[in-house]
Amino acid sequence: MTDWPLAELLPHAGDMILIDRILSFDDEQIHTTLTVKPDGLFSLPDGSLPAWVGVELMAQSVAAFAGCHARQKGNAVELGFLLGTRKFECNVEAFPVGCELTIHGIRSLEDDNGMGVFECHINAPGIEASARLNVFRPPHAAQYLEQLKESNDD
Q: Could you read off the pLDDT of 42-53 as tens digits, one per residue?
A: 999 999 999 999
Give the C-alpha separation, 153 to 134, whole Å: 27
**CATH number, position 115:** 3.10.129.10
- pLDDT tens profile 52-64: 999 999 999 999 9
Instruction: State the pTM of this model.
Output: 0.90
Q: Which domain holds residue 136?
A: 6-153
In this structure, is residue 1 part of a structural domain?
Answer: no
- Domain count within the chain: 1
